[in-house]
Chain A
């Protein structure tokens, strides 16, 4: 009661910030915190009922104090919930900006999990999202695509590193098939090395197919 569960949520959120992957959605916890808020609200209503809307805090300080604590706990819980969800949506948006296809997210994440831990969630990342989150990120991706569409020539999700060289050396880490460049088609087979235009392969580097050699 009184914010214990909310605290757990915040700890979860904090933990999420340092993880390479998104941990499972805490459905149970969310439900429990929401229930707590509703219970507190009922308590408040019950406490206020005998007063018929003419409650004066100065007359009955014990009740006033209880009310205050209940109200603060409810607001705190709300903040915790918001913080938890925002942390997760921020993470999802980050993925969307990096160009991961959300429908394909599970596969991408496992593939990306070279940095560890994501094998823990063996059955794929999609199950780590709540259905609402899946909805959200799908719609956000649409929104992002629409916004990007305004700037077709710029490639908004491109690299934020200032460009240094037009052409770079890349090594192929995973078979990526054939890509079209203005100098003709290149077949990217594993362990081969190419000297290509950076703009052509940026997306593949971001997705971990290619590695930039410096």
Chain B
């Protein structure tokens, strides 16, 4: 069994996996995606972490119960449970830390609009708000209060430089296709598109990797939402929203809230197929 098989099992088509396993897979995916994407992804909305937490608690209790038992067999089982527990904890910890690192780095950016705020969990929001307040206070008491009032802001945009640092959405990300679709990418000189097959792994610029419309509208959105940024957004797509969007050209705007500054980088009309020229190096596809 290699990594492809493992990833394949998480495909939406395989519904018969028990929820425990699915949660672990969802957690792993969220972790991989969070660590490989330049910007903060949405906090899993379907209660994934509540379930994971609950399970960790149960296992800890179980370990405590079993510790008293001196039977060698129990001891062996205990070691396996504890090892698994450590791994689970590591996944959660690493995931949370990756998020906190991003939030700390671009605090004001993620607090700046309701859409971005919505990506944070409640605790993360509280943390980010408080952290920013602390920083601001620190600046104020250290030097900022002695400044002329006009210069005391932390969110100026004077001189065409915004004080709010934003994540670099131009960096490359890997995406993996869950079904056949046309993938479009944005190059330095021009855009390109390519027919992606199920299971393809593609590297492309993160700013707005999006899939050209296949025939079915809802198909597009589902794949699109799932494929962007490393392909691992785990929350179920809102059916209600799908119906509200009538035309293809509205699709990118719908997702604009995800993109901080890159909204000008592409437009919805660029759905025409452009054959990538060899010199462009827009996509790198592993052969075979």
Contact = CB atoms under 8 A, between A and B. Distances in A.
Nearest to A76: B159
Interface residues of A, number: 42
Interface in A136-168: 136, 139-140, 143, 146-147, 150-151, 153-156, 158-160, 162-163, 166
A38 to B, nearest CB: 7
Contacts of B57: 153
Interface string B71-92: 0000000010011001101101
A35 B285 CA distance: 57
B148 A136 contact: no
Interface of A is mostly: helix
A195 to B, nearest CB: 13
A72 interface: yes
B147 A160 contact: no
Contact of B138 (A78, A85, A163): A85
B147 A34 contact: yes
Contacts of B217: none
Contact of B146 (A38, A89, A133, A156): A38
A90 B108 CA distance: 15
Say which size band chain B's interface belongs to: 35 or more
A160 B97 CA distance: 9
A72 B158 CA distance: 10
Interface in A1-56: 30, 33-34, 37-38, 41
A146 B158 CA distance: 36
A89 B151 contact: no
B123 A150 contact: yes
Given A85-B139, A140-B131, A75 B151 contact: yes
A67 to B, nearest CB: 13
B86 A198 contact: yes
A182 B67 contact: yes
Given A147-B123, A154-B93, A163-B83, A75 B158 contact: yes
Interface string B140-159: 01111011100100001011
27 contacts: A37-B148, A38-B146, A38-B147, A72-B159, A74-B148, A75-B151, A75-B158, A78-B147, A82-B139, A93-B104, A132-B141, A133-B138, A143-B134, A146-B127, A151-B93, A153-B56, A153-B89, A154-B56, A154-B89, A154-B93, A154-B96, A155-B89, A158-B93, A166-B79, A166-B83, A166-B86, A199-B86
